[in-house]
Structure 1
């Protein structure tokens, strides 16, 4: 019997929604975010005091951390953080690049993950939804950046999150299914996943996506947990399941071009040889892999093939 999957984490920052209309965002310490990147130094998110912040195109209230109010700041200058002029060694880093460091640092990393992910997700929404979906007029941020209001028709527009399922599938021998999506770089493998369609439950989406992409029927479906995944606006809802008939594996070849069931000793050898590139540390997919494996997966040899 496996132990419960350890992703049920309490929030590390109070979102303090009741303060969103009250706080002067220019007085908040700020995380700088732009185009899916976050200002960081040595893998840690940088929080700038008001006097150290660059001119802002947008500010979004993130919440209350102890006695401090925190905001996300989108800089006016699109090149801010590209070099070290005026900001020491700080750089704008892609959120994907920071994930592994977050999850290696325990509670402090969980806090940074929550702040950075929220900042990227809400900034992405502002960037992609500047106009009213009904009349086409420009909208303006309100409620601390958590709403965009159309002043022409008075409608409020709220941030969007698209749910997607991801499922770790094992066979009667407890081998794990690894799949390669047709659009991925060579040797990259992960679990089957897909977006939830209108009118579906998460469980229905799991069965549909798996059958469409692999031809497999599932049993013993079990919910594991979830993770915000703002690339650009998703939340990954994780499950594990079993298939009694791995021989029924039939790939659709449009979305999934390769898949195989692997044993634990086999996956370790494939990783060390550089023949399989797995999901990055800190991702929900990697946690699912290591949950099945029973611990941390080995790292590939430095002199082996690399992902391209």
Structure 2
């Protein structure tokens, strides 16, 4: 399988040691070489196909340079990179003529001229640098949105270390971004057919590899075998790791595997009927024909699922 998965690419130095430096945010905002990626409702600002819309701080009129909204993404030879998550209520308050209220007007007018896109849709088209920046920005933005309070005492937390730590204002405990490991697997049988399933909440004809979260106390190999048994009633033997990529929707790390049906195990599929409503084995020819006919819709190109399928297929499948 390809070593550089769509959302597993980056060329920027995280520069983690600089995050706790006093006055670091102010210095970044004052530096004209700093580039800012705007995030709004989980979407990233884009300038066109495969290009992020990165702006100098001075270009962003009325920006809230508050640590609560910022995350340091790292630096390269061209300068430093910041992510600015726009307030969720931005532009909602307007006067009777529909004009943004005074404190938001400049920023609203600036933002309304931008284009925002979902990382799922543009991630595979981004260059290595931009893929890494966008994935990190979306992951951190999602974490902050879901963790405003201390999990120990329930009090408000404040953002420190330029977006990488939240500190409780009451007990001063420190809290760090969470990543949830999930396994995703291309299951093949003795005839080298691939097992694909249809999730209950997906559009009609959408099929993909099986996947699920790693549970407490499990190894990833155990999680692969459990998920396949639960969702499709298939016993898995050998499990081989193929690659991984972040999937920040909101906080997953997808661990990709090739798994083989256990020797002498049945290939009769029994779906759970809850998460998976249909699953079947495909030969390469059967899958290519079904995809061409539109009776099977494959995952988006930014996903590790499609990479696993095409790794088994031996080439690119027309979609």
* TM score, norm. by length of structure 2: 0.85
Q: Structure 2 CA distance, aligned partners of 1:40 and 1:267?
A: 34
Residues 88 and 143 (structure 1), Cα distance of their counterparts in 2 relative to 1, 3 Å cut: closer
1:101-137 per-residue CA deviation (whole Å, 9 max, x = no partner) reads: 12xxxxxx12211110100000000011001111111
Give the one of 204, 217, 222 matched to 1:204: 222
Shift of 1:231: 0.9
Structure 2 alignment gaps of length 5 or more:
92-103
User: Pick from 35, 42, 60: which aligns with 2:41?
Assistant: 35
Q: How far apart in 2 are the matches of 1:270 and 1:168?
A: 18
1:220 aligns with 2:241: no
Contact 1:193 1:209 in 2 (8 A): yes
Task: Give TM-score, length-normalised by structure 1.
Answer: 0.88
Report the Cα offset of residue 88 of structure 1: 8.9
How many residues are aligned here? 287
Q: Is residue 98 from structure 1 mapped to residue 117 from structure 2 by the alignment?
A: no
- What's 1:126 paired with? 144
The residue aligned with 2:84 is 73
Please list the CA deviations of residues 30-86 of structure 1 after superposition, one character each: whole Å capped at 9, or x if unmatched.
100122100002121111101112513511101012241111001236359xxx954
Task: Confirm or deny that 1:252 pairs with 2:272.
Answer: yes
* Residues 90-99 or 242-251, more deviating: 242-251
Q: Render the CA deviation track for 1:184-212: whole Å, top value 9, x for unaligned.
A: 11111101100001111111111111111
Paired residue secondary structure (1:252): coil
Uncovered stretches (5+) of structure 1, i.e. residues with no partner: 103-108, 300-308
Please name the residue that 2:15 is paired with.
Answer: 16
Does the aligned pair in 2 maintain the 1:182–1:256 contact within 8 Å?
yes
Distance in 1, matches of 2:175 and 2:42, equals 21
Question: Does the aligned pair in 2 maintain the 1:171–1:246 contact within 8 Å?
Answer: no
Give 1:7 deviation, angstroms: 3.2
Does residue 162 in structure 1 map to residue 180 in structure 2?
yes
Q: Is the 8 A contact 1:179 1:260 kept in 2?
A: yes
Seen in structure 2, the aligned counterparts of structure 1 residues 266 and 73 have a Cα distance that, compared at 3 Å, is: same
Residue by residue, what CA displacement relative to the aligned partner does 1:233-255 show, whole Å, maximum 9, x if unpaired? 10100000111435332111111
Q: SS of the counterpart of 2:267?
A: helix
Alignment of 1:168-183 (within 5 A): 168-183=186-201
Which residue of structure 2 lines up, in the alignment, with residue 302 of structure 1?
none
Change (3 A) 1:87 1:36: closer
Q: Tell me the CA shift for residue 272 of structure 1.
A: 1.2
Q: Is the 8 A contact 2:71 2:163 kept in 1?
A: yes
Is 1:26 aligned to 2:33, yes or no? Answer: no
CA distance in 2, matches of 1:164, 1:224: 14
RMSD: 2.0
Which protein has the larger Cα radius of gyration, Structure 1 or Structure 2? 2
**Moved runs in structure 1, 4+ residues, more than 3 A?**
7-11, 76-80, 84-90
